[in-house]
Amino acid sequence: MANALSGISGSGRKAKVQSLFCERTENTCAYLPGQTHRHFTEILSQIAAFDSGLDLFFTPHLVPLKRGMEVTTVVELAKPVTNDEVLHIYQDFYGDRPFVNLVPDTLPETKNVWGSNRCDISWQVQGSTILLFSVIDNLVKGASGQAVQNMNIRFGFKETAGLSLYGEL
């Protein structure tokens, strides 16, 4: 189960009444829940690379933010794990990734990644259940920054060229 809280800019550029700030302020709602969201197949294809037997339900929510996204994913594991085991798995997988920041001792906040191409990740283990938390600036990491990062990799430039590791606030 993955629940995403998305700033208004995450709903795209198309002019829609429900995307107007005056409609979103003091208001939140789920949209395209379960397996109906346009990004669902992309998410599922990445999960299938590791385990094709997992079920996923993805529910994004529009929240009254200009930018940013926070995703909480709940996964039931086959056996209990410890926080240290999770930390070592993440360090092994993301250790050399310049735009992934592990924050194991705190819950990540969107304000800390505004203006950056960084994804902050944290987790909490409760028996055989793990709660995963991640935040991005959806205008940078979610769109333009990801394009620049991909271009840098494709053309052999330093992966971080032209991209900020630190937020604005």
Q: In this predicted model, what pLDDT tens digit does every residue of 88-142 receive, in sequence order?
A: 999 999 999 999 999 998 999 999 999 999 999 999 999 999 999 999 998 888 7
Percent of the chain with pLDDT over 90: 46
Structural tokens at position 68: 């940013």
Higher-confidence residue: 41 or 150? Answer: 150
- Give the CA distances from residue 86 to residues 76, 107, 108, 117, 158, in Å, rounded to whole numbers and listed in that order: 14, 15, 16, 23, 29
How many residues comprise the chain? 169
Q: What is the pLDDT of residue 52?
A: 60
Residues 6+ apart with CB under 8 A from 124: 83, 130, 131, 133
Structural tokens at position 37: 């969201």
Instruction: Note the pTM of the prediction, 2 decimals.
Output: 0.84
Q: Does domain 1-66 have CATH number 3.30.70.1290?
A: no
CA 1 to mean position of chain CA atoms: 14
What is the number of alpha carbons within 13 Å of residue 39 lying toward its C-beta? Answer: 11
Distance CA 8, CA 22 (A): 11
Q: Where in the chain is the domain with CATH 3.30.360.10?
A: 1-66, 67-169
Domain made up of 67-169: CATH architecture? 2-Layer Sandwich (3.30)
Mean pLDDT of 50-73: 80
Q: What is the pLDDT of residue 134?
A: 95
